[in-house]
A and B are shown apart, each in its own frame.
Chain A
């Protein structure tokens, strides 16, 4: 008896789109396929599936404008696609390419974005490399300096925690003008996947279905995207959008975790009754639902705010991420607990979602950093009389 929850903020067209995607991922990315890639493929992704998703469904460019070669839909549609990818744990670079790199490129490159977005839109995957060994997600923490100028820009150094770098044909790298600090001098650089001096390393990761990579550059040629030294504002806006989109992806996984727990609680008998009839389990399931409802509301609220150009959109991204990060971990933890012994096995999928939850909680800033931003932003708005 599958769990039926009322759909929330989905028009008929969007619901149909969602259902099409769900069928697509169920048919093409069943968990057996996800596990095959996870256990066997050094690249950590499934190029055939990505090609299919890009060519048949146009997912790679769904939120890229038609002028730039995409489908011209909003972040809402991209969020729906990410939710289904997150539900299935499909090993494709949808978030890294469409949800992260394309969003940042769009806002940093402005009028010149088309050159970079057109290939992304047809499925030539990209990713964004900005975090360094310090693990600071705030772009102000970038220390890698670009060398040279004009047509001769080069990078030497490293970037860490880069999502889906194994699938990316273009790596967008955040570096700074020599001697600059903070937001000043931040630049976005494009490095081709086959550039000289580029090495991609895959460290062992908690999340088995989406690895993060280390990139090393040794006098690697790069091209400046947008105006050199002036990337900060576009970068921050792109990262705010990516944060909301990551939440949309998480929401899809949370839904699956909730459904799995409730199905198990209804079907598993102990003491001659379904364990879901015991309050100890029923209340856990209720708490999963409470976490899920708050999360899908917050995630949707942030996405819609970005689509509507709401001035609070960035703030709402932090509201969502600070809420969903711990909520997804709680849900995956308790869903595993409800499944008892089998929930602790390699064979059951509970741990795959728990691993994804742990990674998602950290990516793009943990709850503490987003809460810190909220407290500071609200205080400074109060001070300036805006709120």
Chain B
């Protein structure tokens, strides 16, 4: 069970709340507004996120768990959790910048040279936004199959290839990229991890429009892009450990914040107002959704309790990831069903400003983003249940000799 705050934690929580009250607005409860997926709206959101990051930095809240020497607060994961809980009740553009910080920051602190770590303060201030250049058309779940080439030319690395699913590449000043630097050795042994400048000739960013119509993601085409050799993290061909370290941190940051209360309780209220509770099938489905919300809350409390007690979690994170994705989608689909024929409509013409339709159409964010549910199920089988791995054909063969679909 989750324990109550200690005296120190309560004091910290009060301090966080006081600062947030002074610097942000509480989430307003007003009429719902349709989501705006236009490029202009995305740009406004990005600007607001930069302003908020700067504000947090000046207040000393930009990176609670980072050491003071890198611009952090030197705090604990518990304090970070308290911050997250408090911030969730405020209307702030929490999202991409903090997420990318959470991925690259710890990796630089763990593997970076002093020169590479010098990027950290500007990152925290929001002056330089970073994007993650990992996935490729031929390297999705099998990320170690990246083909984007990195070739050494004097004291520089020359980069050619294509990345995909790069969040906010159109706004980013910098990027961290996974490259193939040696195709003549087995695939994990020929990968490098480099830092690049996104604002240079040869970097072409094209928006990738998702099924719900947003442009969070991009394709990035790289043609003779250059970066100094001292921007390679952990050395040439030694990028795979850095990559897996980033991926371990990624799961925690994938997720969507929604302007609508997507809880089952809110759905029950909606159904009640819409006169749908006389229908026993609606009650059954709503009761199921409510039970799932509670079970998920209890599972999340288990993770938090482990953090608060300073021990290993007693439930695997992939259990939560899978349930959040699957149950969240079913709840959104239930909302759409409850709307009856109005569920055919979207945006401002639909009930609740179409926010549930938006939710049901954003399924892939949770079921593919941050690792497909199938990859997470493999993880549960092999990590939590210690079942044997599949036989592999790609461990001992040179990368250039491996079969691919393209």
Chain A interface (Cβ within 8 Å of chain B)? Answer: 1, 3-9, 262, 265-266, 273-274, 276-279, 281-283, 285-287, 289-290, 293-294, 297-298, 300-301, 304, 316, 318-319, 322-323, 367-368, 370-376, 378-379, 382-383, 387
Contacts and interface: CB of A to CB of B under 8 A. Distances in A.
6 contacts: A276-B385, A283-B381, A287-B377, A294-B295, A301-B295, A371-B283
A297 B387 contact: no
A357 B265 CA distance: 29
Contacts of B314: 6-9
The DSSP consensus for interface residues of chain A is: helix
Contact of A8 (B315, B385, B391): B315
Given A279-B390, A290-B319, A372 B284 contact: yes
B152 interface: no
B380 interface: yes
Nearest to A278: B390
A331 B381 CA distance: 15
A378 B286 CA distance: 10
B89 interface: no
A317 to B, nearest CB: 11
A34 B330 CA distance: 41
A371 B277 contact: no
A285 B387 contact: yes
A289 B380 contact: yes
Contact of B302 (A266, A297, A378, A387): A297
A373 B287 contact: yes
Given A290-B380, A375-B283, A375-B284, A318 B291 contact: yes
A297 B299 contact: yes
A373 to B, nearest CB: 7
B319 A304 contact: no
B144 interface: no
A273 B391 contact: yes
Contact of B283 (A4, A318, A372): A372
Contacts of B384: 5, 286, 289
Contact of B391 (A3, A262, A277, A301): A277
Contacts of B391: 273, 277
Contact of A322 (B288, B376, B388): B288
A294 B287 contact: no
Interface residues of B, number: 48
B1 A304 contact: yes
A368 B322 CA distance: 24
Contacts of A7: 314
**Most chain B Cβ neighbours within 10 Å, of A1, A301, A318:** A301
B319 A276 contact: no
A374 B290 contact: yes
A289 B290 contact: no
Interface in B263-288: 264-265, 268-269, 271-272, 277, 280, 282-288
B341 interface: no
Interface string B280-319: 1011111110111011001100100000000011111011
**Most chain B Cβ neighbours within 10 Å, of A276, A368, A378:** A378
Nearest to B322: A290
B87 interface: no
B374 interface: yes
A293 B299 contact: yes
Nearest first, the 4 closest Cβ-Cβ pairs linking A and B are A371-B287, A282-B381, A374-B287, A6-B314
A5 B377 CA distance: 16
Contacts of A300: 298
Contact of A367 (B282, B288, B298): B288
A387 B261 CA distance: 14
A318 B290 CA distance: 10
B295 A323 contact: yes
B387 A266 contact: yes
A171 to B, nearest CB: 33
B291 A322 contact: yes
Given A274-B388, A368-B284, A374 B381 contact: no
B183 to A, nearest CB: 28
B378 interface: yes
A276 B265 contact: no
Contacts of A3: 385-386
A370 B295 CA distance: 14
Nearest to B312: A6
Given A8-B315, A273-B388, A370-B287, A383 B295 contact: no
Contact of B298 (A265, A278, A298): A298
B382 interface: yes
B323 interface: yes
A379 B272 CA distance: 7
Nearest to A271: B391
Contacts of B315: 6, 8, 293, 297
A283 B291 contact: no
A304 B286 CA distance: 25
A298 B268 CA distance: 21
A5 B322 CA distance: 18
Contacts of B374: 279, 283
A304 B301 CA distance: 14
B319 A289 contact: yes
Contacts of B319: 289-290, 293-294
A323 B388 contact: no
Contacts of A282: 377-378, 381-382, 387
Nearest to A318: B291
**Most chain A Cβ neighbours within 10 Å, of B264, B269, B286, B385:** B385
Contacts of A294: 295, 299, 319, 323
Nearest to B387: A276
A277 B390 contact: yes
B403 interface: no
A387 B316 CA distance: 31
Contact of A371 (B1, B291, B313, B390): B291
Contacts of A285: 380-381, 385, 387
